[in-house]
Amino acid sequence: MTDHSLIVDSTQQPSTLQFAPVFNVAVPFIDRHCTEGRAEKIALRTNQGVEVSYRLLAENVNRCGNALRDLGLERGDRVILIVKDCAEFFYIFWGAIKAGVIPVPVNTLLRAKDYAYILADSGCKALIYSPEYSLEVQSALEQLENLPLCICVEGGKDSLQVLIAQASAELEPVAATADDDCFWLYSSGSTGNPKGAVHRQRDMVVTSQYYAVEILDLSEDDICFSAAKLFFAYGLGNGMTFPLWVGATSVLHDGRPTPQSTFETIEKFKPTLYFGVPTLYAAQLQALATERPDLSTVRLCVSAGEALPADIFNRWREETGLIILDGIGSTEALHIFISNRADDLMPGSSGRAVSGYQLRIIDDSGHEAAPGDPGRLWIRGDSIARCYWKNPEKTAKTMIEGWFDTGDTYFQDEEGYYYYCGRNDDMMKVGGIWCSPFEIEAKLIEHHEVLEVAVIGRADGVGLIKPEAYIVLQNPSAVTESITEELRKHCKEGLAPYKYPRQFHFVDELPKTATGKIQRFRLRTLV
Ligand code: 3UK
């Protein structure tokens, strides 16, 4: 048998990772647990009542890998997953990797047009989907010239569940190397077509060790629950790779994350780690005004996807006694590369570099920015995607000599903490001075009437850019002249004088991406 071993030396800071010359990442993430005595331990639990031990997980991963081979998929072929959070997601993802096939999990909230684009762009040989998405999938397929093999996870005699049941439970891992392509994730981007970020075998090891073990102190005693779904790089780490790396348990919920569903899941499954996004924390805080769920099993909360305003951090701590660790990650980096730590917190900041990552802030003249000055954030590290699939221009533009241009504007303070200022195109110059929409939003969210807010720059009558705020109120019937005046005063008291919004718009909801990021560019096109 080939040795797919991996040596992790945690006595070094950062830990050093040494991969055997032949390395298939399904071995340490899946097979290792049976040889290390965790065969009967529960790897995952779902809200549908499914419980999967590490032994059953390893068997079903093998069956699924064999089923993909039996269907004719070969090494390097892509299989697209439009699959909800469920046990089969794990089987397909790891079965593919073990068999040398490239799994490509895709956002389940997209529409037929987006699926048609991704199916064609990826040149996938197979598509596996949950029955919930069959309407969008069918109409995507109607738009395609070359049809992939299409398999529904459940229902009917050709379903994946039937194929898995019929396939052999023995599978030798394909002999790969740590640098070989392993899986792809489509980065949604706020504009333009999605781009396939090509990740290597080693990337999940890097994020699991440097972020989950070193920052979250994750161990096999933990139970992880991610409100962010598995198709999102953030959820893929939180809800699958991190718990599998240490032999912990993951809790999956296949419904829409709402304050009610997340609180219920926490009470029922008693996770020790909870992963959310800022808009969900804000909605949960609102719900906490009228209900008191038991969150006592949670030892730590995590936030990413968007910057977490200091005010939400503070209120969550007051209401629940829990800390939220904010960190910035991306699809290209696979997971979080700047983070707060339980013993090194700076509310309102993204924290410091995660070990294993190098960071640079580059100003407009192409030089390293001085402390306090904003610039574009560039990162380097071992989990960053090798390239964008079939997109050499975009690859060349953002991936430069080992560095990745995140597209985010950041500054670093004298103490070394990193502060998010917005996407490059969100920054505005007001009166000649750089002004971060995020800083104004963070001020407005402190106000008790404000539920959500987005700030953009808009040219006034003489063409000068001024901040404007779009606000969702806690209580929509509170829209009056006096609230506008009060919010303006609130900003003027707490921000540099030129930063207060000149206009306030009260709206029912803000435009967001499927992963919950506010689309400021959509607000800019409103008049
Ligand atoms: C923004 C943040 C400020 C930022 C992600 C954790 O969000 C993730 O990946 P995406 O590819 O988006 C990346 C972009 O989102 N962002 C994310 N987190 C923060 N901005 N503070 C934050 N804490 O613009 C970044 O470039 O969807 C998050 C782990 C894995 C991920 N993929």
How much distance in Å is there from the Cα of 210 to the middle of ligand 1?
A: 17
Beta carbon of 336 within 6 Å of any ligand 1 atom: yes
pTM: 0.91
Residue with tokens 């990745």: 404
The pLDDT, as a whole number, for residue 161 is: 98
Lowest mean pLDDT among 167-176, 193-202, 387-396, 420-429: 420-429
Q: Please state the rounded mean pLDDT for residues 311-325.
A: 97
The pLDDT, as a whole number, for residue 13 is: 78
Give the Cα separation of 435 and 446 in Å (integer).
19
pLDDT in tens, 1-16: 678 889 998 888 788 9
The pLDDT, as a whole number, for residue 527 is: 67
Q: Which atom of ligand 1 is closest in space to residue 307's alpha carbon? A: 21
Give the Cα separation of 100 and 98 in Å (integer).
6
Q: Please state the rounded mean pLDDT for residues 166-171.
A: 98
351 secondary structure, DSSP code: B
Beta carbon of 151 within 6 Å of any ligand 1 atom: no
Minimal-distance CA residue to ligand 1 atom 31: 330
User: Pocket of ligand 1, candidates 330, 332, 350, 359: which has the most ligand atoms within 8 Å of its Cβ, to mutate?
Assistant: 330
The pLDDT, as a whole number, for residue 189 is: 61
The pLDDT, as a whole number, for residue 195 is: 94
Q: Which atom of ligand 1 is closest in space to residue 513's alpha carbon? A: 27
* Amino acid, single-letter form, for residue 442: A
Beta carbon of 226 within 6 Å of any ligand 1 atom: no
How much distance in Å is there from the Cα of 97 to the middle of ligand 1?
A: 25
Kindly indicate the confidence band of residue 427, based on its pLDDT and cuts at 50, 70 and 90: confident
Instruction: Identify any residues that bridge with 380 across adjacent strands, giving them in sequence order.
Output: 358
Lowest mean pLDDT among 366-380, 404-418, 429-443: 429-443
Beta carbon of 377 within 6 Å of any ligand 1 atom: no
Q: Which atom of ligand 1 is closest in space to residue 406's alpha carbon? A: 26
When comparing pLDDT for 66 and 187, which is higher? 66
Lowest mean pLDDT among 88-97, 185-194, 276-285, 365-374: 185-194
How much distance in Å is there from the Cα of 202 to the middle of ligand 1?
A: 21
Closest C-alpha among 271, 356, 285 to residue 316: 285
Q: Is 160 helix (H, G, I), strand (E, B) or coil?
A: helix
Q: Is 234 helix (H, G, I), strand (E, B) or coil?
A: helix
Residue with tokens 């000068």: 464
Kindly indicate the confidence band of residue 190, based on its pLDDT and cuts at 50, 70 and 90: low
- Exposure string (b/e) for 278-299, b if CB count within 10 Å is 16 or more? bbbbbbbbeebeeeebebeebe
The pLDDT, as a whole number, for residue 468 is: 96
Is the Cα torsion angle 435, 278, 332, 248 positive or negative in sign? positive
Q: Please state the rounded mean pLDDT for residues 30-38.
A: 97
Beta carbon of 186 within 6 Å of any ligand 1 atom: no
User: Pocket of ligand 1, candidates 110, 203, 277, 328: which has the most ligand atoms within 8 Å of its Cβ, to mutate?
Assistant: 328
Q: Which atom of ligand 1 is closest in space to residue 407's alpha carbon? A: 26
Beta carbon of 515 within 6 Å of any ligand 1 atom: yes
How much distance in Å is there from the Cα of 304 to the middle of ligand 1?
A: 6
pLDDT beyond 90 at 422: no
- Copy the structure tokens of residue 493: 């008291």
* Amino acid, single-letter form, for residue 197: A
- Copy the structure tokens of residue 459: 């040219």
Beta carbon of 187 within 6 Å of any ligand 1 atom: yes
Average pLDDT, the chain: 94
Give the Cα separation of 36 and 413 in Å (integer).
45
242 secondary structure, DSSP code: H
- C-alpha count within 13 angstroms, C-beta hemisphere, residue 299: 11
Minimal-distance CA residue to ligand 1 atom 2: 306
Q: Please state the rounded mean pLDDT for residues 440-469.
A: 90
